[in-house]
Amino acid sequence: MKETNIDLMDELVADGVGILKELFNEEIKPLIQKRKEMEHKIANKEISEMHRMEQEV
Amino acid sequence: MAKPTWEEILEIYDKSKDKLVKSGLQQAFAEDNRFYELDFKKDLNIPAEFSKDATVLPTARDRLDSLVDHTDISNARITVNKRKETGAELARLEMLEKFGLGLIHRVNVESDISPLRVSAKHYWLHGITWIKTVFDRDIWDKDKGLTLPIVVVAVNPINIVPDPYHNGRDYIFEVRKKLVYDAKRLPFKWKNPHELADDIEVEQIEYFDKDYRCILINREPVWDVDNGVVEHNYGFLPYTAIESGLGNVDVDNNPVKRYVGILRHMKGLLISQSSIYSMCDILTKLETMIGGYITGADASNIPKITQAYGKWWPMGEKDVKFNRWERNLAPREAYAHLAYITDLIDIHSAPKSMFGLGEEGVRSGADRRLVLAEAQSKLNYSKDSFANGWAQVLSKCAKLVKDVVPDNFTIWAKNSSNDFDVSINKEDFREPFNFYVEFSPISEEDEYRRHEDLLRMFNGGLYTKEHARGKLSDVDTKALEKQELKEMIKMSPAYIELLLQYFMPMLQQALMEAGLPPPMPIGMPGQQPQGGGTTGRPLTTNVPNRAQPGSMQEMLNQRQNTMGTNPRGQQGQGGGGNRSFGV
């Protein structure tokens, strides 16, 4: 079978998506996880602050 | 061709052997071997009292090994004619190329010593090499296609008894001695009908023509089936002869004149060289540790005196006088003659430049290159003939796959220019098989010049990129074109956009799962502001886009600028040499 440009594009997209998935799992997902943890921390801190202020009042 | 009986085969063998022995070919081969092994001290004719000091110079080995090394067997490049083919046919031919490459690679890595190297040595030593290609049923039964089921062996020409009238093109006998113990084992499992002791040597005669095969051990057939002569289905004679072309096909078709190795007509010179060297060497030794004689009335009454460094012997009142023998070194003419003989050997065999030594009177690089090219042209036919012979071997192996190997099998190669592991599909093996074998140049300089030349042809517009690539046998033009196209696609905005389409949903989903807000939309790739958004007159004039000093880009630019005015190309054009030294 002679390869057309579309075949090549398909091959490249498949390669690219594979690499993208790998990168996503290795780099982006941990970042999202970290951000999630940070947000939780901030939220907890805000809640505890509010709770302290309520107590003071 | 009618099927021969084993008795007829034995009769033909005796006749062929008789003719071969009478021709003196085996004796000539044995002599070639004797000189290669430097076993000709007795021919030097050195007086008996000095014979232990005689030296056989290793010139014969050096010259022959130099030629073998120049029959470069590494980096084999295999191509098949696929100029007009496309589609499935192209894929089939590409697989044939891989088969050829893989076969040579496998026989090289899976042998104790590469059959190519062995055959190259036979080729230069005897002027002929015989390569045997057979299907190995035992390997096939054991591995079922995981191991290469084809055996490629370089058979020593002294073990071959060819048919006397067609030089082995009709039928061949391969003869070797083996112990009864070995004959009883694989592959032939000889039954030893006369119950000979295991340590007795018997003769094994293997007969092949293009249809039949017969093995005789101790002049009796090994196989019980088909009266000892079996049909092999190869469709060809599995022995390929490659001739060096150093001999001559004379009117009598005398094999001794036809199969000539590089040492055959150099023996006299080799003997002279070692003989004169030995005499000069012996005389120099004698004169360096020179002895003498003692005169005087007490000459016979002195104690034993030995020669020792810095030692003086007190003689008291004794009347003795020590006299040195008259000095008698080898004459200068002997050394001049030795040099002359060495030159004659160079002329006949391999010039100095072929084994890395400088030629006399060569001044510039271009001149040296010219001399080297002349030296190589002396052996060009033999080199080409060797590669063409191996192309024949590959064709025979391809026929084996087509007609004999029972099923598909895998083949692989891994070296600097090849890396593949493919399944060989039997159905794809169809004649004609037209392999072209090239053993890459031995010198990096040659390779560099070839690349440089092609680059200039391309830059000068004489060659297209595709044509220039086609000239390089280690370059897969189609694969490179595909890679280029891939690179272009990877750089295109459409491709990046496409990847983003996959990326964004993944990111959004991950964020959603984490309970985080979605990201800000990303701008379209390739929509960078034009002209930097400035209006009116710029603050500076156009700054030339130069690469940073010392950067890779700058080096590339410099290389580009010097292309076409290559200083190498001018080498040697001005006459060369430093005239003030009168060279």
Gyration radius of chain A's alpha carbons:
24
DSSP string, B459-525: HTTSS-HHHHHHT-TT--HHHHHHHHHHHHHHHSHHHHHHHHHHHHHHHHHHHHHHT-PPPPPPPPT
Query: pLDDT band for position B354 (50/70/90)?
Result: low
**pLDDT value of residue B380:** 76
> Which residues in A lie closer than 8 A to residue B87 (C-beta atoms)?
1-2
Strand ranges (E), B218-305: 220-221, 229-231, 239-243, 292-295
pLDDT exceeds cutoff 80 at B128: yes
pLDDT exceeds cutoff 60 at B581: no
Chosen for mutation from B502, B512, B513 (greatest number of chain A CBs closer than 10 Å) is: B502
pLDDT exceeds cutoff 80 at B307: no
Contact of B229 with B6, CB cutoff 8 Å: yes
Bridge partners, B175 (sequence order): B205
Average pLDDT rounded to a whole number, residues B315-339: 82
- Average pLDDT value over all residues in chain A: 82
Chosen for mutation from A2, A12, A15 (greatest number of chain B CBs closer than 10 Å) is: A12
Contact of B268 with B281, CB cutoff 8 Å: no
Say if B503 is an interface residue toward chain A (CB within 8 Å): yes
Of A20, A33, A39, the CB nearest to B499: A20
Residue in chain A lying closest to B488 (CA): A9
Q: What are phi and psi of B277, to 5 degrees?
A: -60, -45
Q: How far apart are CA B514 and CA B352, in angstroms?
A: 77
Say if A20 is an interface residue toward chain B (CB within 8 Å): yes
Picking from B392, B427, B284, B511, the residue whose alpha carbon sits closest to that of residue A34 is: B511
3-state helix, strand, coil in chain A (%, to 5): 90, 0, 10
pLDDT exceeds cutoff 60 at B542: no
**pLDDT value of residue B360:** 65
Structural tokens at position B25:
């070919």
pLDDT exceeds cutoff 80 at B458: yes
Phi-psi category of residue B232: left, alpha or beta, with phi > 0 → left and psi -120 to 50 → alpha? alpha
pLDDT exceeds cutoff 50 at B142: yes
In this predicted model, which residue has the larger pLDDT, B178 or B324? B178
pLDDT exceeds cutoff 80 at B538: no
Type and span of the H or E element at B142: helix B137-143
Question: How high is the ipTM of this complex?
Answer: 0.73
Residue in chain A lying closest to B515 (CA): A36
Kindly determine whether residue B495 and residue A20, on different chains, have CB atoms separated by under 8 Å: no
> Each residue of B37-75: pLDDT tens digit?
999 999 999 998 888 999 999 999 988 988 888 776 777
B403 CB-near residues (< 8 Å, 6+ apart): B233, B234, B235
**pLDDT value of residue B290:** 77
Whether the CA torsion B118, B121, B126, B127 is positive or negative: it is: positive
Weakest mean pLDDT among A1-15, B323-337, B339-353, B377-391: A1-15
Q: What share of chain B has pLDDT > 70, as a percent?
A: 80
Type and span of the H or E element at B420: strand B419-424
In this predicted model, which residue has the larger pLDDT, B273 or B362? B273
pLDDT exceeds cutoff 50 at B137: yes
